């Protein structure tokens, strides 16, 4: 389960009927969360959270509570520790070579419906899952499994030229399978 | 069994586990036939004749007329971001690749073959009605030898748009500039016709384009932006 959903549940459990208490609590929680995000992300916090619909478009409702979630500890909303399954330093602002490290997402679709989303060794800061409908939350499963276990049948990518195709993973797959 | 041919200038691989030779020959023949009719590179294609004015729309084939109408509709639906009439020349290439994949997929289903994977230059239609799941990778725009994600699917259409393979072949038709928000955009859902067109449209539109997904129930998006952040917008349908 994604951390942001867990977070919502926890918050709602604390809410009570007393409006004054509720107001103070929400204010306190908002400041605390903001503080944690700033501490955790530093100056890049708002840039990286500002996706993909900050313009207040139809997707805006899903933009809330995108705290950096920790797939291996789903009940912990506070982004205070990086799970050991992530590669340390895999996400650095200045390293644009491959800053998302060994990010892999595995999505299982049955009968045309997404049934499972597995995040495979995804660096914390790169995890930005947004559903078009908030109802889809429980479908997100966070598991760290070996990305290398995938026996890929085909690769979707930007249109290959014959030249770039020769260098591609798809080419290697085709060679192996047409042989 | 998997076979590979280069048609429309792109490598096309078709994987039919229970396929015989004839079904592969017939499938590739559909790609060639569509290429012969719609290529802007072939002097004798219907599209070339239409652009030279040697044939008028009313005398064109039914499939030509159908695609022409579809291109007009898509231009409207995408506020001009899908534009087959750019530079006053009719060029339906942006639609035809998806159309060709769709035609072959329909042909295979008609023949009773419901287990196949067609990959035309990175755009894929896959089908399976058995326990077999296809594993489809999404290319890493920073390193095409690597994959960012994989989908385990029984049936899916998936298309990716980016400038990393063919260079600067996408421009924003409204601003005339190279779009620079995304490194790659992958759209997946039930139909390759939608996935193919909208991967390109969203890529060209930039961040704003993601709102178009609201109009496409059942379609999801995985993208890498210019800051190399990987994000996903998954349909719940």
Q: Are residues A104 and B149, on separate chains, in Cβ contact within 8 Å? A: yes
Contact (Cβ atoms closer than 8 angstroms) between residue B78 and residue B212: yes
Give the pLDDT of residue A139: 29
pTM of the model: 0.67
Write the CA distances from A36 to A19, A33, A48, A85, A128, integer angstroms.
25, 5, 15, 21, 17
What is the model's pLDDT at position A34? 53
CA of B203: how far to CAs of A19, A27, B21, B183, in Å? Answer: 46, 39, 38, 8
Model confidence over B195-225: pLDDT tens digits? 999 999 999 899 999 988 888 888 888 888 8
Query: Does the distance separating the beta carbons of B218 and A159 come in below 8 Å?
Result: no
Residue B10 confidence (pLDDT): 87
Element (H, E) at A26: helix A19-41
- pLDDT recorded at residue B218: 85
Residues of chain A positioned with their CB less than 8 A from the CB of B152: 106-109
Residues in chain A predicted with pLDDT less than 50, given as ranges, are: 1-19, 21-22, 25, 37-103, 121-150
A59, B126: Cβ pair inside 8 Å?
no
The CA distance from B118 to A89, in Å, is 38
Chain pair A-B, CB pairs under 8 angstroms: 237
Evaluate whether A98 touches B143 at the Cβ level (below 8 Å).
yes
Whose CA is closest to B8, among B88, B163, B118? B118
**Are residues B222 and B138 in contact, defined by beta-carbon separation less than 8 angstroms?**
yes
Q: Does B236 touch chain A (CB under 8 A)?
A: yes
Whether residues A47 and B6 touch (CB distance < 8 A) is answered with: no
- Taking an 8 Å cut-off on Cβ atoms, the answer to whether A157 and B146 are in contact is no
Q: Rounded to 5 degrees, what are φ and ψ at A34? A: -55, -45
Q: What is the pLDDT of residue B151?
A: 83
Task: Specify the residue for token string 């594993």.
Answer: B135
**Contact with chain B for residue A61, Cβ under 8 A:** no
Element (DSSP H or E) covering residue B95: helix B93-110
Straight-line distance from the first to the last Cα atom of chain B, in angstroms, rounded to the nearest whole number: 32
User: Using CA atoms, how far apart are residues B171 and B78, in angstroms rounded to an integer?
Assistant: 14
**Contact A111/B at CB under 8 A:** yes
Cβ of B53: how many Cβ atoms within 10 Å?
Answer: 7
The whole-number pLDDT of residue A28 equals 55
DSSP A75-94: T--S-----TTSPTT---TT
In B98-133, DSSP assigns E strands to 116-120, 123-127
Q: Rounded to a whole number, what is the distance in angstroms from the first to the last CA of chain A?
A: 42
pLDDT at B23: 96
How much is the pLDDT for B21? 94
- Report the SS3 class of residue B140: strand
- CATH superfamily ID and name for B2-233: ApbE-like domains (3.10.520.10)
Residue A5: predicted pLDDT: 30
Strand pairing class (B116-120; B123-127): antiparallel
What crossing angle do the helices spanning B93-110 and B192-205 adopt, rounded to 10°?
Answer: 160
Are B139 and A105 inside 8 Å of each other by CB?
Answer: no
Collect the ranges in chain B with pLDDT lower than 50: 167
């Amino acid at each position: 389960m994604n951390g942001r959903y867990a977070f919502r549940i926890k918050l709602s459990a604390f809410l009570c009927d007393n409006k004054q208490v509720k107001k103070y609590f929400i204010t306190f929680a908002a400041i605390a969360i903001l503080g944690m995000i700033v501490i955790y992300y530093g100056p890049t916090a708002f840039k990286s959270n500002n996706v993909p619909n900050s313009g207040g478009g139809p997707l805006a409702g899903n933009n809330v509570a995108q705290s950096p979630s920790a797939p291996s500890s789903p009940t912990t909303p506070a982004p205070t520790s990086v799970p050991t399954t992530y590669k340390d330093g895999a996400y650095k602002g200045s390293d644009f070579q491959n800053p998302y490290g060994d990010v892999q997402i595995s999505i299982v679709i049955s009968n045309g419906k997404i049934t499972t989303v597995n995040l495979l060794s995804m660096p914390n800061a790169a995890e930005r899952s947004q559903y078009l409908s908030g109802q889809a939350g429980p479908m997100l499963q966070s598991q760290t499994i070996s990305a290398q276990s995938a026996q890929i049948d085909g690769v979707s990518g930007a249109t290959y030229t014959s030249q770039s195709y020769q260098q591609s993973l798809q080419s290697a797959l085709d060679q192996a399978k047409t042989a | 069994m998997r076979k590979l041919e280069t048609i429309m200038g792109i490598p096309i691989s078709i994987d039919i586990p229970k396929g015989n030779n004839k079904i592969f020959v017939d499938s590739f023949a559909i790609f060639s036939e569509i290429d012969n009719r719609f290529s802007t590179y072939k002097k004798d294609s219907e599209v070339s004749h239409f652009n030279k004015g040697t044939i008028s729309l009313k005398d064109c084939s039914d499939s030509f007329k159908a695609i022409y109408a579809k291109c007009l509709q898509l231009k409207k639906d995408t506020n001009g971001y899908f534009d087959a009439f750019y530079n006053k020349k009719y060029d339906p290439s942006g639609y035809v690749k998806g159309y060709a994949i769709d035609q072959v997929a329909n042909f295979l289903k008609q023949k009773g073959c419901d287990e196949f994977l067609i990959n035309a230059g990175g755009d894929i239609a896959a089908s399976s009605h058995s326990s077999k799941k296809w594993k489809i990778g999404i290319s890493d725009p920073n390193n095409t030898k690597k994959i960012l994600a994989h989908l385990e699917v029984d049936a899916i259409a998936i298309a990716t748009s980016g400038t990393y393979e063919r260079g600067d072949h996408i421009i924003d038709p409204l601003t005339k500039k190279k779009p620079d928000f995304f490194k790659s955009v992958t759209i997946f859902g039930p139909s390759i016709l939608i996935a193919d067109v909208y991967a390109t449209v969203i890529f060209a539109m930039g961040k704003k384009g993601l709102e178009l997904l609201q109009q496409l129930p059942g379609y999801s998006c995985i993208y890498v932006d210019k800051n190399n952040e990987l994000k996903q917008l998954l349909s719940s349908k």
